[in-house]
Amino acid sequence: MPSIRIKICGLSTPDTLDAALSAGADLVGFVHFQKSPRHVDLERARLLSEQAKGRAERVILLVDPDDALVDAALEAVDPDWIQLHGRETPERVAMIRSRSGRPVMKAIGIASHADLAAIVAHGAADRILLDAKPPPSAALPGGNGHAFDWGLLSGMDLPLGTMLSGGLTPENVAEALTRTGLRAVDVSSGVETRPGEKSAERIAAFVSAVRTNE
């Protein structure tokens, strides 16, 4: 098994999903959030999930979902992971984990040292994903193409499996891995030609850049 886990998020077409699978992505993410340019409805997510089954771990990304949406996403997508990318409290994360019976990945927006306290608070999550904290005016909780200061993580004892996200690209992911010491990365906008349009070439370049750093 590769020593660095790679997640390609925001996949929305069979072709780009196949590009991610062929490149060797470990996890593939489907965004169900209508404000996102990467949004897929649950029927399309179901088809993409079936395409990826047995080839990569499948992640459904939800933002502050109610119980009905959690149940609908589980039934349609049968995901290996639920990714929560909103303002879910630690209690809500634990509740969704218990209700779904699936491991939960919790995204935490980072802009300053103060934001790092949320990592400990979310101990109920099976995996922490560190993303750049969006500016107050942003319409999206993630996928904005911005990186946070990786130096904030210096000297921190982060939970095993912590995943780095936010502004990663084929050009900077090797530096990000070296500077943070993390062994899991997540990319979305960094492998796009425009918001929501993934590039097979950039996906392959991203995975290659990570693998040469192992």
Which stretches in the chain have pLDDT values below 50?
none
* Dihedral (CA of 205, 206, 211, 214) sign: positive
Q: How do the domains of the chain map onto residue ranges?
A: 5-211
State whether CATH 3.20.20.70 applies to domain 5-211.
yes
Tell me the DSSP string of 20-83: HHHHT-SEEEEE--TTSTTB--HHHHHHHHHHHTTTSEEEEEESS--HHHHHHHHHHH--SEEE
> Does residue 168 contact residue 190 with C-beta atoms inside 8 Å?
yes
Predicted pLDDT of residue 145: 66
What is the pLDDT at residue 133?
87
Closest CA to 148 of 188, 119, 176, 120: 176
What is the model's pLDDT at position 71?
Answer: 98
CA distance linking residue 174 with residue 82, whole number of Å = 27
Strand pairing partners for 131? 109
Residue 141: per-residue pLDDT: 56
Q: Angle CA(104)–CA(117)–CA(174) in degrees, nearest 5?
A: 70
**48-78 pLDDT per residue, tens:** 999 999 999 999 999 999 999 999 999 999 9
pLDDT, position 143 = 52
| pLDDT value of residue 213 | 83
pLDDT tens per residue, range 155-175: 899 999 999 999 999 999 999
pLDDT at 146: 79
Which DSSP category does 57 fall into?
E
* Residue (of 110, 106, 198) closest to 147 by Cα position: 110
